[in-house]
Amino acid sequence: MSRYVIGRIGQAALVLWAAFTVSFILLQALPGDAILIKFLNPELGLGPEQIADIRAAYAADSPLPVQYLHTVANFLTGNFGYSIHAGVPVGDLILANLPQTLWLASLGFLLSVVVAVALAALSALAPFSWLRAFIQSIPALFISTPVFWLGILLIQIFSFQLRLIPVINPGPWQALVLPVLTLAVPISAPLAQILMRNIDHVLTEPFVAVARAKGASHRWVLWKHVAKNAVLPTLTIGGILFGELLAGAVVTEAVFGLNGLGGLTQRSVNDQDVAVLQAIVVFSAGAFVLINLTVDLLYPVFDPRLRVKQGAVA
Amino acid sequence: MTSAISLRPTATDVADVPVLEVDGLAVAYRGPEGFQRVVHEVSLRVRPGEVVALVGESGSGKTTTAQAVIGLLAENGRLEGGAIRLNGTDVAGWSQKRLDGIRGQKISLIPQDPTSSLNPVKTIGAQVAEVLQIHRQGSRAEIGARVIELLTRVGLSQPELRAKQYPHELSGGMRQRVLIAIAIALRPALIIADEPTSALDVTVQKRILDLIDELRREDGTAVLLVTHDLGVAADRANHIVVLKGGRIQEQGPTAEVLAAPRSEYTRQLLADAPSLGKTRSAARSKPVHIGPRRDAIVVENLVQDFAVGGREVFRALAGVSFTVRRGTTHAIVGESGSGKTTTARSIVGFQKPTAGRILVDGIDVTSLRGENLRRFRKTIQLVYQNPFASLDPRQTIFQIVEEPLLNFDPLPRDDRARKVEAILDRVGLPPAVLTRRPHALSGGQRQRVAIARALVLDPQVLVLDEAVSALDVTVQAQILTLLDELQQALGLTYLFISHDLAVVRQISDTVSVLHNGRLVDGGAVEDVFQRPGSPYTRELIAAIPGGRNLDPRSFR
C-alpha cells in the first residue's frame, strides 16, 4: 500500500477516535441521569438499594476514566452496550433503524447530485446571459429553505391538497418520496453552486481557448474538457455534505414520522439514553469518515496529477 | 549575419495573395460604462510564408487583434467594424458555429503559456488527436499514427511514451512543442502565435522559435506573431506592426522599421528594449565608494539541500561563492531551477544554508538567530517580481510604505509621515498617491512603491528578485534608470536576480551565472559577455533575442 493510502487511513482512524472521545465527554457532562429517569419512576416501586444494584450493573458510579476505557474496549470488540431505556443491545437498535435512513440518505444524495448536475448543465448551455443568471440564482433559493418548513409545505401540497400521497399508511416508496425531496433540495444547492462556479472557472482556462482554436464547439468543450475538471474539486464538497445529510435526516424523519436513525436519535435525546447516543455518534462519524476516505482514495483515479506521488513511493 | 537573413523567407517564397487581410478592424469590450473601443482601425496583411509581428506593450491591443482574427474574443468583447479576410473570404461576421469549421484547419493558435494550455486530466496523445477527430481526419488507427508522426516532427523524443503521458509529466518547452504539434496538425494556412515563448527560459525560447521557423518554411505557413519583445520580432519577422493604445503606430518591413523608425513611439521602444539596446555599464559612471572599500556581500561555498519526499535530498546549491563590492550591482543569472532564487533567500536569511558562509556588511548571516536576525533584516531589503501581488490591496500607499518603520525603531508619527513622503518623492511618485490603494496605480508606479517600501528603512543592500521582469519595456527602462540614480545617490548595493541577460548586461557591474545549482561563470559583466568561460554561458548569450538582426549600435 502506498504512503498516500496509509496516511489517509491513519487520519480516518484519528477522526473516529476524536469523535468518540469528544462525544463521550459531552454526554457525560450532560445534566441528568438516564438510569434515575427510568427507575425512579414510582410506578416501578423500586427501593434505593435495588436502584443502587442497577447502577452498579451499568458501572455508572465508577470513575470516568475507568468508564471511558471500559467503553473504548467494548466498542473495539463490537459491543456497543445496552440501551438504558429499551433494555436491548444498542447494535440491534441501530441495525433495525438503519435501512430506512440508508434509503433516505442515499436516495436524497442521489437526487441532490442529479438536481445539481442538471442545474449546472442548464446554466452552462443557456444561450442567453439573462437565462444563465436566472438559473444560477436558483441554488441561492434552495439553500435558504429550512428543511422542516419545506417538509411541512410538501405534505400540505402533495398529501392534503393534491391527495397524491396518503398521510396514513403510505406504501414503502410513497413514504420516501417527500422525505427524499425535502432532504435533497438543500443539499443540492451548495453542490450546484460549486459546480457552476467551477465550470465558469474552467471555461476561462487557457486550455479551453486552445480547444476552441482546434475547432471544438461549445458543447464539445463542455463535455470533453470542462466536465471532468469541474467535477474534481466538487468531490470533496460532496463528501463533506454527506455530514449535512445525516443532520438533515434527523429533522426530516421527525417531520415525516419515519423510524430511522434520525427518529432513534430524537427519542434517545428525550430519554437521555447515553449509550445509544454514544453509539449513534460513533456510527455517524464512521459513515462520514468512510465516505470521505473513499473520496480521497478515488481522487488519484480521476486526477493523473495525484498519481505521480503515489507511484513514486509505491 | 548572412545566416540570419536566410532564415527569414526571401521574396520568392512569399506569394502575393494575402492569407490574412485585416481591414479597418475595430473591437470593443463591455465595461461598467458601456462598450469601450480598444482596437481602432487596424489594418494589416499576412502573405503565405510570411511572418508578421504584432508588437506592443500591455494594453496595446495586440492580443485582442489576434483573438479577433481567430474569432475567440473574450465574452465581453465584440467586433465593431472592419473586415477579416482569410484567403479572400470575409469571416468577420461569421457565427461561432461556422468559425468552428475553419479553426484548427485553416487557422490555428500557439498559445502563450504552455503550462496551463493543456488539459491536465487528458493525455498528450488524446489532446493532439482531438484536433484530427474534430475535423474527422481518418480512422482511429490513422489518427493514432498521425499523432506519433506529429510528435516526432516537433522534435519530441520517445513520441510513443509522450503520447501516453499527462501534461504535468513534461517540461514547459516540451509542452509548447505539443501545442505546436496541435497547431500544425492540419497544415493550416495561418498560425497565430500569441507570445509563444514569453513563459519559457531563454535557451528554450530560442529552440521553440527555431522550430516554428523551420515548420513554417517547410509548409509555407503564414505566421502572425504577437509579442512584447522587439528583439524576438526583429529576429523572426519580415514585417513589423507596432501597436499602441489599440492604434497602429507604424508598420513596414522589419529592417526598415528597425533602421529608420518613423514614429516617436517606435523610437522609444527601440531605445528601451534591453536586447536591442546599448550596454549601459560602459556608460555608467564609476560606482561611488563610501569610506574604505568594503565588500557588501561575501558568499563562500554556499550549499543548500532540500528534503524531497522523506529521505531523498535535493541539492539546490552546490558550493556557490562570490563577492559583491559595496555600491555596485551584482547579477545572479540562470534559468528556472538554476538556484538563483535559493541563493537570494539564503542571503536574506529566510533559510539556513546546509553549509557555507554568508557575510552581509561584515555580519555572518548564518549565525544570526531570533531578534538579531530580525534586526539584520533592516540592512537588507527585498523587491519582488510581481508588483500586483506584493502589495496588500487593502492598504493605502502611505500605510504600505510606513509599515516597515512600525516594525523597527518606533518613530514619532510626524517623523514617520515625513520619512514616507520623502522616500516617495525620492522614487518619483507624486504626494497624491499617498491616500490611494495599489489598484489605482499602474504597474510601474506599483514597483516604485515596492522600491520605496524597501528603501524606507535605509538598507545597505537591495535584493531585486526579477524586479523588472513583469514590466513593459518602456516602464522597465524607467525603473532601471531610477535604480541607477538611487544607487548613485545612496551608495546602495544591488543583488539583481534575473533570467534576462540583456537587462543584466545593462545594469550590472559583476555577474554570477548559475546552472543546476553550480556557479559556471562569474566576474565583471563585460568580461563574461565578451569571453564566456563556459559553454552554458555561451548558449545563454546566443539565445538573447535581437542579436540575430543588424547590430543596433551600427545605425545609432
A207 vs B contacts (CB less than 8 Å): 116-120
Question: What count of residues does chain B have?
Answer: 556
Residue in the block written with cell 500605510:
B399
Overall average pLDDT of the A66-70 stretch: 83
- More confident: A234 or B281: A234
Claim to verify: residue A160 and residue A25 sit in the same structural domain: no
Chain B interface test: which of A214, A235, A303 (most B C-beta within 10 Å): A214
Claim to verify: residue A77 and residue A105 sit in the same structural domain: no
Q: Do A309 and B309 touch (CB under 8 A)?
A: yes
Overall average pLDDT of the B320-328 stretch: 92
Q: Is the interface score ipTM higher than 0.90?
A: no
Residues with Cβ within 8 Å of B517's Cβ and at least 6 positions away in sequence, in order, are B304, B315, B316, B317, B318, B320, B338, B339, B342
Query: Is residue B55's pLDDT more than 90?
Result: yes
Q: Which of B256, B272, B288 is the last residue of a domain?
A: B272
Please state, for a pLDDT cut of 90, what percent of chain A lies above it.
18
CB B429 within 8 Å of CB B452: yes
Tell me the residue ranges of DSSP E strands in B32-122: 34-46, 51-55, 77-86, 89-90, 107-110
Residue B113 lies inside a defined structural domain of this protein: yes
Backbone angles phi, psi at B432, to 5 degrees: -60, -25
CB B184 within 8 Å of CB B219: yes
> Residue A201: which domain range?
95-272
- Express each pLDDT in B28-48 by its tens digit: 998 888 888 999 999 999 999
Residue A212 lies inside a defined structural domain of this protein: yes
Q: Do A213 and B102 touch (CB under 8 A)?
A: no
Residue A90 lies inside a defined structural domain of this protein: no
Claim to verify: residue B268 and residue B392 sit in the same structural domain: no
Q: Do A210 and B121 touch (CB under 8 A)?
A: no
Please state, for a pLDDT cut of 90, what percent of chain B lies above it.
45
> B300 has which bridge partners?
B357
Claim to verify: residue A105 and residue A121 sit in the same structural domain: yes
Claim to verify: residue A226 and residue A132 sit in the same structural domain: yes
* Cα–Cα distance for residue pair B241/B250, rounded to 1 Å: 6
Query: Is residue B226's pLDDT more than 90?
Result: yes
- Express each pLDDT in A116-162 by its tens digit: 999 999 999 988 888 888 998 888 888 887 777 887 888 888 888 88
Claim to verify: residue B75 and residue B219 sit in the same structural domain: yes
Q: Would you state the pLDDT for residue B70? A: 94
> Residue B409: which domain range?
380-458
Q: Would you state the pLDDT for residue A33? A: 66
Residue B415 lies inside a defined structural domain of this protein: yes
Backbone angles phi, psi at A51, to 5 degrees: -60, -40
A305 vs B contacts (CB less than 8 Å): 120-121, 166, 168
Question: What count of residues does chain A have?
Answer: 314
Claim to verify: residue A180 and residue A213 sit in the same structural domain: yes
- Express each pLDDT in A72-122 by its tens digit: 888 888 888 788 777 788 888 888 888 888 888 888 889 999 999 999 999
The per-residue pLDDT of chain B, averaged, comes to 86
Q: Do B309 and A303 touch (CB under 8 A)?
A: no
Residue B535 lies inside a defined structural domain of this protein: no
Q: Do A213 and B72 touch (CB under 8 A)?
A: yes
Tell me the residue ranges of DSSP E strands in B231-275: 239-244, 247-253
Interface of A with B in 37-96 (CB under 8 A): none
Claim to verify: residue B45 and residue B180 sit in the same structural domain: yes
Q: How confident is the model at residue B285 (pLDDT cuts 50, 70, 90)?
A: very low
Q: Is A301 on the interface with B (CB under 8 A)?
A: no
Q: Do B117 and A206 touch (CB under 8 A)?
A: yes
Claim to verify: residue A175 and residue A217 sit in the same structural domain: yes
Claim to verify: residue B90 and residue B231 sit in the same structural domain: yes
Single-letter code of the amino acid located at B102:
I
Residue B473 lies inside a defined structural domain of this protein: no
Nearest CB neighbour to B117, from listed A210, A217, A308:
A210
Claim to verify: residue A212 and residue A279 sit in the same structural domain: no
- Quick one: cell of B309? 519526499
- Express each pLDDT in B474-488 by its tens digit: 888 888 999 999 999
Q: Would you state the pLDDT for residue A38? A: 67
Overall average pLDDT of the B375-392 stretch: 85
* Cα–Cα distance for residue pair B47/B85, rounded to 1 Å: 12
Highest mean pLDDT among A4-8, A144-148, B139-143, B441-445: B139-143
Q: Is B311 on the interface with A (CB under 8 A)?
A: no
State how many domains chain B has: 2
Claim to verify: residue A259 and residue A118 sit in the same structural domain: yes
Please state, for a pLDDT cut of 70, what percent of chain A lies above it.
91
Overall average pLDDT of the B139-156 stretch: 93
- More confident: B377 or B289: B377
Q: Would you state the pLDDT for residue A100? A: 84
**Nearest-CA distance A210 → chain B (Å):** 6
B309 vs A contacts (CB less than 8 Å): 309, 312-313
| Chain A / chain B CB contacts < 8 angstroms | 82
Claim to verify: residue B388 and residue B267 sit in the same structural domain: no
Nearest CB neighbour to A207, from listed B97, B119, B134:
B119
> B359 has which bridge partners?
B298, B364
Claim to verify: residue A257 and residue A111 sit in the same structural domain: yes
Interface of B with A in 71-110 (CB under 8 A): 72, 96-97, 100-105, 108-109
Q: Is A228 on the interface with B (CB under 8 A)?
A: yes
Q: Is B199 on the interface with A (CB under 8 A)?
A: no
- More confident: B51 or A301: B51
- More confident: B11 or A297: A297
Q: Any idea which of B90-94, B131-135, B281-285, B329-333 has the lowest mean pLDDT? A: B281-285
Q: Do B96 and A218 touch (CB under 8 A)?
A: yes
State how many domains chain A has: 2
Q: Which of B443, B458, B473 is the last residue of a domain?
A: B458
Q: Do B131 and A302 touch (CB under 8 A)?
A: no
CB A265 within 8 Å of CB A277: yes
* Cα–Cα distance for residue pair B301/B296, rounded to 1 Å: 17
A232 vs B contacts (CB less than 8 Å): 121
Q: Do A209 and B121 touch (CB under 8 A)?
A: no
Residue in the block written with cell 522534435:
B155
Query: Is residue B118's pLDDT more than 70?
Result: yes
> CATH number for the domain including B217?
3.40.50.300
Q: Any idea which of A6-20, B123-137, B265-279, B339-353 has the lowest mean pLDDT? A: B265-279
CB B285 within 8 Å of CB B322: no
Q: Is B264 on the interface with A (CB under 8 A)?
A: no
The per-residue pLDDT of chain A, averaged, comes to 82
* Cα–Cα distance for residue pair A179/B325, rounded to 1 Å: 78
Q: Is B289 on the interface with A (CB under 8 A)?
A: no
Q: Would you state the pLDDT for residue B311? A: 66
Q: Would you state the pLDDT for residue A310? A: 39
Claim to verify: residue A79 and residue A100 sit in the same structural domain: no
Nearest CB neighbour to B117, from listed A207, A216, A313:
A207
**Nearest-CA distance A301 → chain B (Å):** 10
Claim to verify: residue A190 and residue A114 sit in the same structural domain: yes
Q: Which of B255, B272, B289 is the last residue of a domain?
A: B272
Interface of A with B in 191-210 (CB under 8 A): 205-207, 209-210
Claim to verify: residue A281 and residue A246 sit in the same structural domain: no
Residue A192 lies inside a defined structural domain of this protein: yes
CB B43 within 8 Å of CB B22: yes
Ramachandran region, residue B20 (left: φ > 0; alpha: ψ -120 to 50; beta: rest)? beta
**Nearest-CA distance A312 → chain B (Å):** 9
Residue B41 lies inside a defined structural domain of this protein: yes
Residue B196 lies inside a defined structural domain of this protein: yes
Q: Would you state the pLDDT for residue A48? A: 75
Q: Would you state the pLDDT for residue A32? A: 65
> CATH number for the domain including A113?
1.10.3720.10
